[in-house]
Structure 1
Amino acid sequence: MQSSKFNLLFHFCYWLLWTSIGKLGEIKLAGLSVNAQKEMGSKSSTKCYGIPEGKGPYSVGCTDLMTDYTIQGSFFRLYYPSQNGTSSEETKWIPRKEYYRGLSDFLNIYRMLGETLFQHYVGSVTCPAKWNAAFKPGEKYPLIIFSHGLGAFRTIYSAICIEMASQGFIVAAVEHRDKSSSATYYHKENPVCEAQEEATENPNEEWIYYRKLKRGEQEFPLRHQQLQQRTEECIKALDLILGINNGNHVANVLSLNFDWTLLKESIDTDRIAVMGHSFGAATAIKTLSKDARFKGSVHQSFPDFTFLSGNFVGKIFKLKGDIDPNIAIDISNKASLAFLQKHLGLKKDFDQWDALVDGEGHNVIPGTNIDLPSTQPESLE
């Protein structure tokens, strides 16, 4: 069944590629294009696609941090309240072509075809956060460590992270190097500048791609091993950020123009949470059990792809649910904020959405819609 789905994806993308550059040359790929003017098969009015802006009172900035010239270093994207007017540069959603290759591998698409499609249709997508904007000091912000799902990477949940930052949180979206990401990388030594990285292959980079199960291989041992590493990466990111909060110097391998000293004494160390989606949610739970500093929170409606796909392709490839993705993410974000206020003791107005946490509200299911096993699951220890 899984193989059939991926084969369908390949043939459908192949057909779309050739029709879009052939006699239907003016038609954009409705499934991925942020410039799409109309959904395929729809006679409705023009509808554009894009990642939603944060709804909170804070402007949002964004930067990347990579430490150490080994695979053991930390790598995450930071979303944070920012100072207005300190950057006009939009944040690129998928920053490197190697991520297209990883996504292609994960989806079982030929790399050349996948890279062409992704580059053409989402290569220009940006996030509503200012790249390297100056951090806004003067307040104590709660901190969230965010863990992505299988086949994702640090930028794919920007809609959630940007909303949290716009509401006054600092969010570190970790990019896991346990081979559960579509793609990730680290610098082995002496990196070139980012501008050069975009133009040429960097021999000092080591890329790590998604590790698929081998024929006949049991999944649990692999996921168990990955879960242990992911947990350590979340804890390591927390240690790093708290060190920055204490005034420790941080050396960024990526040589980005961002002043980390502004974060000194800006973290509310009594209000730290870990969040995640899918396998990232399992990571969040495991991290909670390992580190008491985290106070806590925990399917395709959540990654950013849902905002960049029309109904036709979105339904076929299950990138969309039955409700509008903007409504779905808004419900999820409000419920998360209400949960965080309750468990972190925040003095905000997020308690206005407490009913969502209790399963009350339109499009909300109380309890769970998943059939839980009657026996206790095997321990992840």
Structure 2
Amino acid sequence: MFTFTGFVQLALVKKIYDLSKSTAGVRHKWSWAALAMGNTGGHTGSMRIPPGNGPHQVGCTDLMVGHTTEGTFLRLFYPCNTHEDSERPEWIPSQEYFNGLADFMKINRSISERIFNYLFGLCTQPYVASWPPKGSLLRLWSIGNESASATFYFTENAEAEQQKEQASCKPPSVNPPHLNQQWMYHRPIKPGESEFPLRNKQVKQRADECIRALDLLIEINSGSPVENVLRTQFDFSTLENCMDLCKIAIMGHSFGGATVIEGLCKEGKFKCGVALDAWMFPIDEEIFPRVKQPIFFINSEKFQWVGNILRIKKLDSAFIPRKMITIRGTVHQSFPDFTFLTGNWLGKLLKLKGDINPNVAMDLCNKASLAFLQRHLSLERDFNQWDPLIDGKDDNLIQGTNITVPQSSI
């Protein structure tokens, strides 16, 4: 389960934004072509997110149950059969996501939208939308990524009941006519406001959302009917008895890594967790003793610092498996999709790429995660061939962390 994320340090965008307003930018006839330096894709769309390496093609569908802010909104992935010419969903399905990122970066929406559209506007995702599922789901991963820059919900029109009746006589559409789409954007810290109470409240909310999503999928698996506010063409009844509800893990990146810890504390149905470059700040340490499940921390080389590693180490246990590795040459954005959508020069300038090939880094992350999940979910697969990666046994891995932690701090 995830929404569009990516609070990235796009320093170049601010430089472009500043240049676009300056007389120097006019004098030198600066144009969007400058963005192509080191990013040969640009608006041509040659940059792409690589397809998965698993045995199945991947389908996805969006599900919203309850249209208000108290509802559940998720994207579900599942194995399926597809054709080569199957339509791929847009990576950024709405301009509002660009607006949310611009607000987060405190730059003008209209200018940043042109920049983001040039860089990412034609990118598609390597799976198909609302395709019929194939076989059974062996695992259920509820993924909570870092805090989103934008998401949406619905409010009812004044003429809601009349429009509901009219809508029932028409073909389904993504947005029901009796509802108004309302966008929610990143909540910045106000002047003088303490950050921890807000972020702690948010991580608890995110964990609750993951648990509600899990409960919803359990209902779907039992055959209970579901009313999808988004009215996609996907038939959720095809998922009846398709999920192995004894083998559930939670996985997330950055803020989502903190959500992993919070979710494990709140819900015992999550049998283990994988935290990718977890940002530990939002979590109240008093919950650490209540987390009883195995956890695997996979860190980047450039993001972590002493304080964050110390909080991770407070989850160490002599009785419960807790593992940590670091991927050499990686940055914080080596885990999300952004790392594949820029060229080498631009990617490094934007801190979206590290020194390691992003495909190599992602492959190590995937294989190590699968080995950990097989070990703790008793999966009947061959993922144990990658068990050495869990202990950092690879030239591109570090066992534990690259951060020097003073012994006195431990």
TM-score (norm 2): 0.73
**Post-superposition shift, 1:203?**
7.3
Q: Cα–Cα, structure 1 residues 236 and 374, in superposed 2: closer, same or farther, change >3 Å?
A: farther
Query: Residue 360 of structure 1 aligns with which residue?
Result: 393
Partner of 1:69: helix, strand, or coil? coil
CA contact (8 A) 2:43 2:119 kept: no
Query: Residue 181 of structure 2 aligns with which residue?
Result: 205
- Choose which of 108, 112, 115 in structure 1 pairs with 2:113: 115
CA contact (8 A) 2:151 2:183 kept: yes
Number of aligned pairs? 329
CA contact (8 A) 2:146 2:254 kept: yes
How far apart are the structure 1 equivalents of 2:178 and 2:37?
34
Query: Residue 369 of structure 2 aligns with which residue?
Result: 336
* Residues 1:255 and 2:222 are matched in the alignment: no
Q: Cα–Cα, structure 1 residues 346 and 28, in superposed 2: closer, same or farther, change >3 Å?
A: same
Q: Unaligned regions of 5+ residues in structure 2, if any?
A: 1-8, 275-331
* Residues 1:185 and 2:185 are matched in the alignment: no
CA contact (8 A) 2:211 2:267 kept: yes
* Residues 1:324 and 2:322 are matched in the alignment: no
Q: Cα–Cα, structure 1 residues 31 and 116, in superposed 2: closer, same or farther, change >3 Å?
A: farther
Q: Unaligned regions of 5+ residues in structure 1, if any?
A: 38-46, 151-180
Q: Deviations over 1:187-216 (max 9, x none)?
A: 12369999786xxx9971111100111122
Q: What is the one-letter code of the residue matched to 2:154? A: H
- Choose which of 212, 220, 225 in structure 2 pairs with 1:236: 212
CA RMSD of aligned residues (A): 3.1
CA contact (8 A) 2:59 2:130 kept: yes
How far apart are the structure 1 equivalents of 2:273 and 2:174?
39
TM-score (norm 1): 0.78
**Post-superposition shift, 1:62?**
1.1
**Post-superposition shift, 1:9?**
3.7
CA contact (8 A) 1:31 1:308 kept: no
CA contact (8 A) 1:87 1:133 kept: no
How far apart are the structure 2 equivalents of 1:131 and 1:62?
5
Q: What is the one-letter code of the residue matched to 1:362? A: D
Query: Residue 309 of structure 1 aligns with which residue?
Result: 342
**Post-superposition shift, 1:34?**
3.6
Larger radius of gyration: 2
Query: Residue 133 of structure 1 aligns with which residue?
Result: 131
Query: Residue 77 of structure 1 aligns with which residue?
Result: 75
Query: Residue 294 of structure 1 aligns with which residue?
Result: 270
How far apart are the structure 1 equivalents of 2:40 and 2:99?
18
CA contact (8 A) 1:184 1:209 kept: yes
- Give % identity: 44
Q: Cα–Cα, structure 1 residues 270 and 231, in superposed 2: closer, same or farther, change >3 Å?
A: same
CA contact (8 A) 2:42 2:120 kept: no
How far apart are the structure 1 equivalents of 2:407 and 2:106?
35
Query: Residue 142 of structure 2 aligns with which residue?
Result: 145
* Residues 1:350 and 2:326 are matched in the alignment: no
Q: Cα–Cα, structure 1 residues 75 and 376, in superposed 2: closer, same or farther, change >3 Å?
A: farther
